[in-house]
Amino acid sequence: MTELHEMEEERDETQVEEDKQYAWNRETVPRVLKIVSTRLSQRDLISLLLVSPSIHRTLISYSSLWLVLDFHEMTNAGDRLVSALSLQRYRNVKQIILEFGQDIEDTHLDILRSKYSDFLGSLELINLNGCQKISDKGIQAITAACPNLKLFSIYWNLRVTDQSIKLLVKSCKRIVDLNLSGCKNITDKGMKIIADNYSNLEHLNLTRCIKLTDDGLRYILLKCRSLRSLNLYALSSFTDDSYKVLSSLTQLGFLDLCGAQNLTDEGLLCIAKCRNVVSLNLTWCVRITDEGVIAIGEGCPNLEFLSLFGIVGVTDKCLVALSLSCSNTLTTLDVNGCVGIKKRSREDLLQLFPHLICFKVHS
């Protein structure tokens, strides 16, 4: 009897341990997986699905893990996207990133519209940067399928035209972030459409949109008063007629005017009224002098980033003035190539601007 009793006790103890292990697997493993999975790349997360059926079920149950489809720089990105959207777990996807993905064509976006529009109703961001095979036809398809887009980015596309802008505003009423950098066939007509439809626009990138004129830019600046970020990099045709209107953008924090060859101190004096500017790129703004830079220092008390790279018309006078007004905020200051400013060591610059951590923006 004693031996039988001992066997029963041992079996009971074993059962208790198995029950504990089961409870741990059922309760703790899912919580651990949820924490770990949020720190994994999409590729690693998908690989984790293959470990076991239980892990697969656990991960699939967390819809928050499947809100992003990222195929940037991947081959066959278009086919991968179509295949992924056929899976139930992506029914609430919020972001699709195809940046520099290969083999993405209008036909892929048309398939998304015809087969998976129900899955794209929650989509807020689509990144088509570098997808140079996409044309106005593809834009028509994807915008029609994604009415709740907030961010639309199509950097470096030579096929899209103002027609794409027209299609975008027709279907997507909530855009607040728009990147048209390098879209060289967008004109002032497109700018007017944007200005008339997106008064709440917060971020706009028009880098190298070479067909734009002062008229197009003024449309934007006069109607899109909520802009927080404006990138006008490598646009040399604009004049002070446009830059003066920037003074009305009271929420502007980021402004890139690199290469603004027609910007003068007069225009910069108006920009200095944007008191919330934190980052200002004036690289190669060759007509600027101390007067304009001093006005920026006095008018923008929160300035953290300033590049004066290559401006020969500024001198030590503006540097000293900046040290009096912005020494507590500036963390990045590039005065390389400013031949009128005495060459200083990092230690010397830190005497003027003790919070500097970056001394050279351009190589």
Q: 89 with 74: CB under 8 angstroms?
A: no
Predicted TM-score of the model (pTM): 0.90
What's the rounded mean pLDDT across residues 179-190? 98
For residue 317, the number of C-alpha atoms closer than 13 Å in the C-beta half-sphere is: 11
Does the structure show a pLDDT above 60 at 337?
Answer: yes
CA distance to 140, 261, 332, 337, 362, per residue, from 282 (Å): 37, 10, 13, 13, 12
Predicted pLDDT of residue 56: 82
Tokens of 211: 């067909």
- Distance from C-alpha of 31 to C-alpha of 26, rounded to nearest angstrom: 9
Q: What is the pLDDT of residues 197-223, one digit of tens each?
A: 999 999 999 999 999 999 999 999 999
In angstroms, the CA 125 to CA 306 distance is 30
Tell me what pLDDT residue 52 has: 80
Spatial contact of 173 and 201, defined as CB atoms under 8 Å apart: no
Burial letters for 52-68: b for 16+ Cβ neighbours within 10 Å, e otherwise?
A: eeebeebbeeeeebbee
For the segment 119-164, what is each residue's pLDDT rounded down to a tens digit?
A: 999 999 999 999 999 999 999 999 999 999 999 999 999 999 999 9
DSSP per residue, 263-312: --HHHHHHHTT-TT--EEE-TT-TT--HHHHHHHHHH-TT--EEE-TT-T
**Count of residues making up the chain:** 363
